[in-house]
Amino acid sequence: MPKIKIVSFNVNSVKARLPALLAWLKTSNPDIVCLQELKCVEQEFPFTALFDAGYNAVVSGQKTYNGVAILSKFKMEDVVKKLPLLDEVSDEQARYIEAVIPLHGTAIRVASIYVPNGGGEILPNQKLEETEKFNYKLRFFDRLNAHLKNILTYDEVAIFGGDYNVAVEEIDVYDAKSWEGQVCFNALERQKFRSILNLGLIDSYRAKNQESQAFSWWDYRGGSWQHNKGLRIDYLLSSPLAADKILDATIEDKGVRDQEKASDHCPVCVEMEI
């Protein structure tokens, strides 16, 4: 059966990292890529350069911040550019995009997701859980949960790639004790993420690498990359039908995160048999 490679990558500015992105695409040769943190509007997205590299693209962009895209060597259909609201009046942040990719007689639903970080200024005597940004993050998880729960009723091959901005288990953090309670390793957000997994989704990397400690993000500060002080916060969550088709799950850190002016994230990958 044919094999395909699906990747999620927080590129941290698609315009600033375009040469590095194009070089990585040539070397890694993924078939489908979920990009996050584009930091540009759709009109400024480098469609032509990526098309010349062999990829179609669908984009939900936002000026200066956020932004998500899906790159594909194949045709994309039924594109959704916003995560449905629950009780919210509106949400202008570009953090979700979804498409269906017909391939070898199978329809693959792919989403690129950029969960809010939830950090920011905390006032004296204020807890993280009381801040507006952290509560927006928790609410985003609730919206994502409701939407993915609905998608899973379709019984499809589905992959939900993204920067989820949470390390769920201690093995996913270089120093769990020092990170306990901080943003990206707070008990409330970890529970929200577990609730999404409990819908029946599979953490592809952990399913294939049960005992391996590996990271997908390293802070630019303090020599975090050089000392491997990282977190695994980028995931490719798979539906049960997709999980059955996954052959391998890897993290491509060498040759990406160690490049000059690299993103602070590296690509997370799955290879599937379709």
Span 160-203, pLDDT tens digits: 999 999 999 999 999 999 999 999 999 999 999 999 999 999 99
From the candidate CATH numbers 3.90.1310.10, 3.60.10.10, 3.40.228.10, 3.30.565.10, the one assigned to the domain spanning 3-116+156-173+201-273: 3.60.10.10
Mean pLDDT of 5-13: 98
CA atoms lying within 13 Å on the CB side of residue 94: 21
Any residues with CB less than 8 A from the CB of 252 and at least 6 apart, and which?
7, 24, 28, 266, 267, 268, 269
Mean pLDDT of 122-144: 95
Mean pLDDT of 12-39: 98
Contact 101, 242 (CB under 8 A): no
pLDDT of 258 strictly over 90: yes
**Structure-block tokens of residue 156:** 């499809």
Mean pLDDT of 140-155: 97
Distances (CA, A) of 226 to 84, 168, 184, 233, 257: 40, 23, 21, 18, 10
**Structure-block tokens of residue 79:** 């594109």
Cα-flanking dihedrals φ and ψ of residue 133, to 5°?
-65, -40
Q: How confident is the model at residue 1 (pLDDT cuts 50, 70, 90)?
A: confident
Q: State the DSSP code for 177.
A: H
CA atoms lying within 13 Å on the CB side of residue 197: 18
Say how far apart CA 247 and CA 94 lie, in whole Å.
Answer: 32
Say how far apart CA 8 and CA 260 lie, in whole Å.
Answer: 20
Distances (CA, A) of 37 to 12, 61, 97, 112, 214: 5, 9, 12, 10, 22
Say how far apart CA 73 and CA 79 lie, in whole Å.
Answer: 16
Any residues with CB less than 8 A from the CB of 94 and at least 6 apart, and which?
38, 60, 61, 62, 66, 67, 68, 81
Tell me the residue length of the chain.
274
CA atoms lying within 13 Å on the CB side of residue 241: 14
Note the pLDDT of residue 104. 87
Note the pLDDT of residue 155. 87
Say how far apart CA 235 and CA 165 lie, in whole Å.
Answer: 10
Q: What one-character-per-residue DSSP string does 57-110 give?
A: EEEE--SSS--EEEEESS--EEEE-SPPPSS-S------EEEEEEEETTEEEEE
Note the pLDDT of residue 121. 87
